[in-house]
Amino acid sequence: MLKAVGLDLDNTLYDQDQFEIPAFRKISRIVSSEYNIPKLVYFKNLVELYKTGQKSRSFDKAFQMIKELPQDWEKFITSKVLPAYRDNKPILSLYDGVREFIEYLKSKGLILVLITNGNVDIQNYKIDALGIRKYFDRVYISDSYNPPARKPDTRMFLDFLRDFNLKSKECMYIGDSENDSSSETLGIKFLPFNQNFDEIIEYLKGYIN
């Protein structure tokens, strides 16, 4: 019998573009002003890298698509770019049907947790901006661990099982990426997110007593 459901955050409960695109615009202005490169070109490079899943050191890569990195780049990233990214606070909204879906899960008496990769302050901002913290029995954020436990690392899933004294077969995890499916290495069934919450509810009914 299903006792608990874990949910991913970015691109599962809301469209992550709502956060990233404003941040990229802000950072592009800062980089362009500091190094006199075309703001729009740098912005388009960031978006292209983001859309193609090249998120590691994307600020560097976007610059290198224009010219070589300057000698003071690392200091600039640390002192200007990363703080600007983390201070980004756009208005966020849930995908249609998300709130009703979460309320359905809660109405069935299920334990509900959020398991998300990301910076602690940024992810907490998103959770509160979306107004969903009240629905979750616990929130697990990868970067609260030392070292960070970003999926496909399974430490957050292990804590989920231990904190609620659950067996893996009693749990399910819903997310949007291949990294999210790492839950299955612990026996927690992974359900790919498809934005059709009515379909997901129908599927879950087979597991809910």
Digit-coded pLDDT (tens) for 142-199: 999 999 999 999 999 999 999 999 999 999 999 998 888 999 999 999 999 887 888 8
Angle CA 175–116–189, to nearest 5: 40
Q: pTM value?
A: 0.93
CB distance 201 to 107 below 8 Å: no
Q: With a cut of 70, which residues of the chain have pLDDT below it?
A: 209
CB distance 117 to 140 below 8 Å: no
Contacts of 86 (CB under 8 A, 6+ apart): 119, 121, 122
